[in-house]
Structure 1
Amino acid sequence: MTTRHVLHTARLNNNCPECYDTDGLEFTFTQEEKHTKLYTQANKEIDEKLYCHTCKNTIYPVNWDEDIERVYQYHKKQAHPNTTYLKLKPLTYGLILFGIVIIGAATFLLLNQA
């Protein structure tokens, strides 16, 4: 299962390249997080989306002008990603402990038989 976390959202006063409206653009920076029964880990990549609420279109980077690119660079710095290290769940710790006990018991039995 994966979930998306919104890291940063910003409304822009720039002109939309599609409809030329000045108050409909919004940047959204998101990060995907993978959940399994054993661990949780955030993806390293940050997804960004520029959406115009006036004309209801996603504005792709090909259509951005220099002003939008400048504002994008500023807001990208504001989006702080979640840590990407592996977060183990209690089931994983239980399985590790169970494995250690099994190996210890097997070692003990083998040493007592000799």
Structure 2
Amino acid sequence: MATKKLVVIKEFDLSNNCPECFNQNLKLTFYQKHIYGKLFHRTTNQVTNQIVCNTCGSDIYPAKWTDDIERIFNYYQKMAVPEKSSLKFTTLFYVLLFVLIALGGAATYLFSEGILTI
């Protein structure tokens, strides 16, 4: 029902050596998880990251990080500030809420006038 998307917060080009092919063409990307539904849009505080070598196309996992990559990662992690965790309702939610309140008010009026009985 709800779709989950990873939205890019920041991207950084790194000049560190790739542990696989030893070229200096890495890209560090930070993502934030967003959940989109028909009635709401939720921004979570979950942040993930990915380091990819642009030359060989391999993902660089933390087990293969060198001290230089880890030091640069810690520096750029402070610069990637995510959006605040929030919950926003869509227009459909407000329309449905208005219809339910209107139906409740109409039912209350009809019961008070004696037109409807249980």
Do both share a fold (TM > 0.5)? yes
RMSD, aligned CA:
1.7
Write the distance in 1 (CA, Å) between the matches of 2:75 and 2:109: 61
Q: Deviations over 1:89-114 (max 9, x none)?
A: 11110111111111111222222229
Q: 2:59 aligns to what SS in structure 1? A: strand
Letter in 2 for 1:98: V
Partner letter of residue 108 of structure 1? Y
Can you list the C-alpha shifts for 1:45-94, whole angstroms capped at 9, x where unaligned? 11200101122110000111222111111111111212321111111101
Offset, 1:29: 0.7
Structure 1 stretch displaced more, 104-113 or 5-14: 104-113
| Paired residues of 2:44 and 2:86 also in contact (CA < 8 A) | no
Residue aligning to 2:92: 91
- Tell me how many residue pairs correspond in the alignment: 113
1:73 aligned residue = 74
2-side partners of 1:105 and 1:91: how far apart? 21
Structure 2 gap segments, 5+ residues each: none
Code of the aligned partner of 1:13: S
Report the 3-state secondary structure (helix = DSSP H, G, I; strand = E; otherwise coil) of the residue aligned with 1:59.
Answer: coil
Amino acid at match of 2:62: P
Distance 1:94 1:56 in 2: 47
Calculate the TM-score normalised by the size of structure 2.
0.85
| Whole-angstrom CA distance in 2 between matches of 1:83 and 1:103 | 35
Structure 2 distance, partners of 1:56, 1:83, is: 32
Provide the C-alpha distance between the structure 1 equivalents of 2:41 and 2:60, rounded to a whole number of angstroms: 32
Unpaired runs of at least 5, structure 1: none
TM-score, structure 1 normalization? 0.87
Percent of counterpart pairs with the same letter?
Answer: 35
